[in-house]
Amino acid sequence: MALFAILRDAIDPRALEASVRTDACGAIVTFLGVVRGSTSEGRSIVGLEYEAHEAMALAEFAAIASEVGERHTGVRLGILHRVGALNVGEVSVAVCAAAPHRREAFEACEYAIEALKARAPIWKKEAYADGGDAWIVNKL
């Protein structure tokens, strides 16, 4: 499967892990972002709607992977992000870093998800149980 993708259907983290893994890798770290059922303030969430500028988002994913490659040789990165309507509990994003050793894999995975949240042209609207909704801006 593609290492970078914007998907309308469910994310399969195991398939992404298989795609980033090579025989040089002794460690794979996977981060999954999951739709929460309530806000930090306790407001009940019924679902999320994601949208993306797909071409720019894929270019950003590739740029992030390139930056990771400059920091750590031998790290392979995969990033999948959902768009469309998601229910509570569904995986919205998967970041997978495979590396010779665990330290680089952990660092690469964290770097990639933080960079994605800061830079990728992807937007999220929360729909609340009380009927309201709101576009959520990531805090950096």
**Interface with other proteins includes 92 (CB under 8 A)?**
yes
**Interface with other proteins includes 111 (CB under 8 A)?**
no
Nearest Cα to 89, choosing from 12, 130, 139, 37? Answer: 37
Q: Could you tell me the smallest distance in angstroms from the CB atom of residue 99 to other proteins?
A: 22
Question: With respect to other proteins, which residue has the nearer C-beta, 72 or 81?
Answer: 81
Q: Which helix (H) or strand (E) holds 136?
A: strand 133-136
Question: With respect to other proteins, which residue has the nearer C-beta, 44 or 138?
Answer: 138
With beta carbons less than 8 A apart as the criterion, state whether 42 and 107 touch.
no
Question: With respect to other proteins, which residue has the nearer C-beta, 106 or 123?
Answer: 123
- Give SS3 for 40: coil
The tokens for 110 are: 């964290």
Q: Could you tell me the smallest distance in angstroms from the CB atom of residue 120 to other proteins?
A: 5
- Give SS3 for 109: helix
Q: Which chain residues interact with other proteins by CB under 8 A? A: 33, 50-53, 55-57, 59, 81, 92-93, 113, 116-125, 135-138
